[in-house]
Amino acid sequence: MGESVGEDELRSRLTATHIEQVDKLMPSPSKRANIVWEMIQKSAQTTYLSNWDVVCFSVEILGKFSDEFLWMKEAAKQVNQLVYKAHYLNHDKIREHEQVVAGVASKESDLEIPKMTGE
């Protein structure tokens, strides 16, 4: 991308002031996620959508976009591997803790990620 190492180092210093300044320019990642989540809930009125469905979707999308944002490619691969490992090795725990989060659930329902520890 043509940025020097010095610029990358400056970008990695996340101070409260810096975060506040950027938040004034654009919505934070959590605000963006909430906007998308509300859209999913509204459009999934009659569709069964579980918390695990949302996790799987998120990981796949992250993987697709990592081609565009190369700096996140390795992290996307790692989280993708974790989700697939959980899917194949903990399918019983996932089903046990899977919650309906859209379609049948109310708008107030929170996204609850299944615990893989069996707790």
- Sequence spans of domains, the chain: 1-43, 46-119
**What are phi and psi for residue 53, nearest 5 degrees?**
-60, -45
Dist. CA 25–CA 92, nearest whole Å? 44
DSSP letters for 11-69: HT---HHHHHHHHHHS--HHHHHHHHHHHHHHHTTTS-EEHHHHHHHHHHHHHHHTTTS
Q: Which amino acid is at 41?
A: Q
State pLDDT tens for residues 32-74. 888 888 888 777 665 677 788 888 999 999 999 999 999 999 9
In this prediction the pTM is: 0.63
Residue 85: both structure tokens together: 């490992």
